[in-house]
Amino acid sequence: MKDKLIDLFEYTYHFNVEMIKVISENRKLVDDKTISLINHTLNAQQIWNARILGEPTFEVWQVNSFESLNEINHQNFVKSIEIVKDSDLEKRIEYQNSRGTKFENSIFEMLFHAINHSTYHRGQINSLLKQNGIEPILTDYIFYKR
């Protein structure tokens, strides 16, 4: 199971890099919603990692400097892999969402959610890219594995 999660985080990292690159190359054509979504995608992974590790979290919709996005993506990747390797994935963690409501989930559930959440928002970003005349990135997992 740990190897599969690592593979999925490698996939997530790879396509976050590609999204940041295509946005960077087309900054003049990219709308504010696209910038907001790429930031939200990265912020969410940071938040889930931080909840697991008991560290301070980003704000869900904070907009980071565009120049920092690759570093945030890299740090997210490193921490996610560290969590996978060093944690009991069945361990349950209590945390609060951004509204202060308390929840409890396993580390596996939290990590899988972070991966799935990123995939969802990259799909939204691709739709926005296409609407703005930018060629979307083919981000399907199966193509990544070929």
Q: Which residues are annotated as a binding site for a divalent metal cation?
A: 40, 117, 121
Closest CA to 48 of 88, 103, 124: 103
Other residues' Cβ atoms within 10 Å of the Cβ of residue 109: 15
Instruction: State the amino acid at position 113 in one-letter form.
Output: H
Query: Which amino acids are annotated as binding site, given as ranges?
Result: 40, 117, 121
Give me Rg for the CA atoms of the chain: 15
Between the alpha carbon of residue 22 and those of residues 28, 41, 101, the distances in Å are 11, 15, 36
